Homo-oligomer: A and B are copies of this chain.
């Protein structure tokens, strides 16, 4: 799923076109990973200084109902990304920037007989860590802090 497809879907289902809706979807297009309501509000507050969380939450919830977005939870916060209709898969999730990378391995394939009595209805497999670019950024920051300490040591 992506912004363009989502816009078409919304139109077909009779939902109205609004700039905010489009811009929220645009964010997901640009991001290619998970976003929280808060991140969306932050990202949009230049274009829409008064944008309210209700609108964001309502749209996220609508998008989820329409299978435009899929939801997961991180640290008690709901986060969303474009729903992937094509096939079942899992994700690497960067804890710093929220970007995700799809992995095609699903552990469930190997587990058919783990416990025949247990009726499986769902599963979650997520890998957390830091993507290459965030690792580099963190190294940069570390270095900067170190350098500035050298120049003007803290009291």
Chain A residues within 8 Å of B, Cβ to Cβ: 73, 76, 78, 92, 94-95, 101, 103, 105, 107-108, 110-111, 114-115, 117-132, 135
| B103/A111 in contact, CB under 8 A | yes
Please state if A128 and B132 are interface contacts (CB–CB under 8 Å).
no
Q: Enumerate chain B residues within 8 angstroms of A121, measured Cβ to Cβ.
A: 95, 128-130
Q: Known: A123-B126, A126-B124. Is A110-B114 also a contact (CB below 8 A)? A: no
Whether the Cβ atoms of A125 and B103 lie closer than 8 Å is no
A73 to chain B, nearest CB (A): 6
Q: A101-B118, A111-B127, A124-B124 are in contact. List 11 more A-B contacts (CB 8 A).
A: A73-B73, A73-B76, A76-B78, A92-B115, A103-B115, A105-B110, A105-B114, A108-B127, A119-B135, A121-B129, A123-B127
